[in-house]
Amino acid sequence: MEAEKLPDVLTVPEAARFLRVSPRTVYNMAKAGTLPGAHRLGRTVRVHRRSMLQWLADGKPSH
């Protein structure tokens, strides 16, 4: 999955596929506050693409 083809706001499965981790890992990181751009909207979690890509570019993955 190429970064420029990602939508601006990602679902958990989309973020997990891009990061090559399980959806559970994305949920856990969102809950722990370690995935920048992850926000809970009601019962769902969405991830802001630019925040996630900047976090990766900065070399700060903590999981």
- For residue 48, the enclosing domain spans 3-57
pLDDT number for residue 51: 96
Phi, psi of 18 (to 5 degrees): -65, -45
Does residue 8 form part of some domain?
yes
Asked if residues 28 and 39 have their Cβ atoms less than 8 Å apart, the reply is no
Q: Where are the alpha helices (DSSP H) in the chain?
A: 12-19, 23-32, 49-57
Q: 15 is written with which tokens?
A: 């973020």
Residue 61 has pLDDT above 90, yes or no: no
How far the first Cα of the chain sits from its last, in Å, is 20
Does residue 63 form part of some domain?
no
Residue 35, domain CATH: 3.90.105
Does residue 62 form part of some domain?
no
Q: What is the mean pLDDT of the chain?
A: 92
Does residue 48 form part of some domain?
yes
Q: pTM score, two decimals?
A: 0.86
pLDDT number for residue 5: 83
